[in-house]
Amino acid sequence: MTRIFDSTRRLGLCSAAALMLAAPPALADSVFERFVNFHYIVSEIDSGAFANGSADSDIAAGFQITNSFWDYGRLIGEVDVRKYDGDSSATEDPGRAELDVQSASVGIGAGTVLLDRFNVLLAVSYDDFRVRLEDDEQMAPANTVGPFVNTDSSDGVGLQLGVGAEVIEGVELFARYKTIKFDVDEGEEDTETLARVGVRWAALERLNLLVEYETFDELEISDIRIGFGLTFGD
């Protein structure tokens, strides 16, 4: 999986852009408007903490909420929790390794409709990552979780751009790209990039079904998110 999601990320973003260009007028309700979703995550991470270099998630889930205020203001909140389990890479009596990755984000920005077709969001955010590695023999390398070195938490500032469009009636295709600058160890900085593409189907008046694909570059996480969303407000 090490570099597979790089090409998948580019393919997904390019495909989303092509479909959006052919989109009809903008959807009245969008994931970038008043919208909350709850999702189950099928996740995989590349990490030297595991014997085969990667592990699938045992439990992973989260939620996201976007609320609009005034004409163009947007508030965004998101929390995801992922738990991985696999054979440890420790060389002596390896046993099992467990890895927890938690991410949370709170942001504010502006959203609007461009060319009567594209729902666009631009936002800044405060982002927090928490990484906890437990190894049966406590012998897994300390710096095996992306850029995290001798630390179990880090926070930083993110900048994100989102674009969505209705491609057929009741179906919205959307994409989001985010870059986060955060501290990893003793003042050292690193940059994480997140790319997400997804589709939302308005199954009922306010009930929506969602499927998303997401990657984290530095943490080397690849997610498939399946869930449901609710529109709220007027």
19 Ramachandran zone, left/alpha/beta (phi>0; psi -120 to 50): alpha
With vertex at residue 190, the alpha carbon angle to CA 185 and CA 193, rounded to the nearest 5 degrees, is 140
**Residue 6 pLDDT:** 55
Nearest CA to 103 out of 150, 146, 166, 143 is that of: 146
Residues near 166 by Cβ (< 8 Å), separated by ≥ 6?
Answer: 23, 24, 25, 26, 27, 172, 173
Phi, psi dihedrals of residue 175, rounded to the nearest 5°: -145, 150
Q: Which is more confidently placed, 201 or 148?
A: 201
Amino acid at 161: L
Q: What pLDDT is stored for residue 148 in this prediction?
A: 64
pLDDT the model gives residue 22: 43
pLDDT in tens, 1-58: 444 445 555 555 554 444 444 444 445 567 888 899 999 999 999 987 788 888 999 9
What's residue 144's pLDDT?
54
Rounded average pLDDT over 150-158? 78
Question: The whole model's pTM is what?
Answer: 0.83
- CA–CA distance, 183 with 121 (Å, rounded to integer): 26
Q: What is the pLDDT of residue 2?
A: 46
- So what's the pLDDT on residue 18? 44
How much is the average pLDDT of 169-186? 87
| 44 beta partners | 56, 222
**What are the percentages of helix, strand and coil residues in the chain, rounded to 5?**
10, 65, 30
Helix (H) or strand (E) holding 7: helix 4-21
Distance CA 97, CA 56 (A): 12
| Residue 6 vs residue 66, higher pLDDT | 66
Computed from CA positions of residues 31, 156, 222, 193, in that sequence, does the dihedral angle turn out positive or negative? positive
Which pLDDT belongs to residue 182? 83
Higher pLDDT, 9 or 65: 65
CA–CA distances in Å: residue 195 to residues 11, 204, 223: 11, 28, 10
Q: 187-224, pLDDT tens digit by residue? A: 677 889 999 999 999 998 889 999 999 999 988 999 99
pLDDT at 90: 67
Task: Tell me the pLDDT tens digit for each residue of 82-131.
Answer: 999 888 776 666 677 888 899 999 999 999 999 888 999 999 999 998 88
Q: Which domains does the chain have, with CATH numbers?
A: 4-208 (2.40.160)
User: CB count, 10 Å around CB of 175?
Assistant: 23
Q: Is 89 left (phi over 0), alpha (psi -120 to 50) or beta?
A: alpha
Q: What is residue 10's predicted lDDT score, i.e. its pLDDT?
A: 55
